[in-house]
Structures are given as C-alpha cells and as structure tokens.
Amino acid sequence: MSYKFFKAVRNIRPETELSFVGEIETEEDFKKINWSIGVDENGFSITTTTNPHSELTWTAVKEEMDKL
C-alpha cells in the first residue's frame, strides 16, 4: 500500500523526501507524515509535520493514488 502512496507523491513531485509510521490511508494519516527539509551535520534528516510542498495536498495525492 505504501508503494502506491510513494508512487503518487513522486508523480506529483519527484524527489520528495519523507517518512512515516504505518500506512497513509486517510487525511489524518497524511498529517502525521515527517517531511524532510534538510540534513544536519550528523547526517540526520531535519523533518517537520507541516507539509512544505503546496502541490502535495491530501486531495491531490489521493486522486493520484486512485489512478494507480
């Protein structure tokens, strides 16, 4: 299931970096995604749960997932 999600995200915005626990099946799940906004000096991802990509709305991603 996560394959479809990642594929949908990539189709809308290639090279998007993110991580999450469990599956992304609802808008509530979507709000819990950790979006990468950089890497620190130790190689750790700097993340935020505030979606920094305006084109990656839940509606757009879900629509893309439904096409796959």
The site for another protein (CB under 8 A) is made up of 2-3, 6-7, 9-10, 14-23, 34, 36, 38-40, 42-47
What letters, b where the CB count within 10 A reaches 16 and e where it falls short, cover 4-25? Answer: bbeebbeebeeeeebeeeeebe
Minimum separation from the CB atom of position 46 to another protein (A): 7
Minimum separation from the CB atom of position 59 to another protein (A): 21
Minimum separation from the CB atom of position 40 to another protein (A): 8
